[in-house]
Amino acid sequence: MEVARYITRSLSFGRSMALCTIGTLLFFGTHVAYGQSSLESDVDNARIIEMTHKGLGDDVIIARIKASATKFTLSDDDLASLKKAGVSDSVVAAMIQSTQLTSPKVKIDGNPVEVRTIGEQKVGGRLGHAVSLGIMSVKNKAYLQGQHASVIASRNPVVDIQLPANDNIDNYIIVEMDDKGDRREIEMGSIGGTVGEKVGIRADRIVRTSATPTGGRRFKLSPVKELKKGEYILYSVGSADFPHGVYGQGYDFTVQ
């Protein structure tokens, strides 16, 4: 009988400990999840005001701005509201600085596109140049590895581009690339032949586009005519650094 009571008490104690352990895990798990959510969420105007009202110093708030993704609205009325809420000038200045781009943001048909550096080069036409005693030209070609781009676009793609303050929409052109199976090429110039030396992208590979401002430093770039299936790149004019083996930068996409 005593043994039975002992076993019963042991089982009850074990169940209590298990429930206690589960409760503790749920408690801390909830707080950890809350902390992670708080850290990972975007910092917006309301959160800046909240941190200010909690008495956090400027250095702490500015550090949070620099370490987080931000989603500020900073019209004149917004700035006045921040000032009225007690947000310091130093914090407001940090908010403004965080919204200043240092490089373009590009979306094609709504899909973000990362910049690619064209750092490969090959020379074509050497044999023909030699056999023809210089009549045929030697072509300099830069290329991107891979058969296709990671971004697939429609035949009437919409390019949304947000530019930093020192950039201009005229610096961006859509170029049709040559599909070579395992790579995509751009002819960057030629030497020799009947017309001598030529530097730059061939005019017949540049797509005619129209650019429409959409507010601030944002623009919508669209081809004038429907694109055919193939490989393309939104090329940044002036991005080449030939002495260092960089033949330009751009945002590649495939039209299917």
Q: For 126-157, write each residue's pLDDT tens digit.
A: 433 343 334 445 778 888 999 999 999 999 99
Q: Are 232 and 252 in contact (CB under 8 A)?
A: yes
Asked whether the predicted pLDDT for residue 48 surpasses 80, the reply is yes
Instruction: Answer whether 145's CB lies under 8 Å from 183's CB.
Output: yes
Percent of the chain past pLDDT 90, that is, above it, reads 54
Residues 23-32: tens digit of each pLDDT: 444 444 444 4
Output the average pLDDT for the chain.
Answer: 80
Query: Per residue in 54-82, pLDDT tens?
Result: 999 999 999 999 888 788 999 999 999 99
Specify the pLDDT at position 120: 63
Query: Quick one: DSSP state of residue 178?
Result: E
User: Which residues touch 173 (CB under 8 Å, ≥6 apart)?
Assistant: 201, 206, 207, 209, 234, 235, 237
CA neighbor of 252 nearest in space, from 197, 200, 174: 174
What is d(CA 210, CA 222) in angstroms, rounded to the nearest whole number?
5
State how far the Cα of 14 lies from the Cα of 10, in Å rounded to an integer.
Answer: 6
Output the CA–CA distances (angstroms, integers) from residue 43 to 36, 70, 84, 217, in the order listed: 14, 5, 19, 22
pLDDT winner (highest mean) among 6-10, 33-37, 184-188: 184-188
21 or 241, higher pLDDT: 241
Per-residue pLDDT, averaged over 175-202, amounts to 77
Question: 78-115 pLDDT, tens per residue?
Answer: 999 999 999 999 999 999 988 888 889 999 999 999 99
| Beta-bridge partners for 187 | 141
Per-residue model confidence (pLDDT) at position 40: 54
Which residues are 205's β-sheet partners?
Answer: none
**pLDDT band for position 195 (50/70/90)?**
very low
Q: Which of 117 and 18 is assigned the larger pLDDT? A: 117
Beta bridge partners of 135: none
Question: DSSP secondary-structure letter at 169?
Answer: G
104 vs 9, more confident: 104
Residue 203 clears pLDDT 50, i.e. is over it: yes
- Give percent of the chain with pLDDT exceeding 70: 73
> Do residues 231 and 148 touch, judged by C-beta distance below 8 A?
yes
pLDDT digits (tens, 9 = 90+) for 149-178: 999 999 999 999 999 888 999 999 999 999
Give the pLDDT of residue 45.
95
Q: Is 129 exposed, middle or buried (0-12, 13-18, 19+ CB in 10 A)?
A: buried
Tokens of 42: 């975007």
Q: Which of 91-105, 176-190, 198-212, 224-238 has the highest mean pLDDT?
A: 224-238
pLDDT at 236: 96
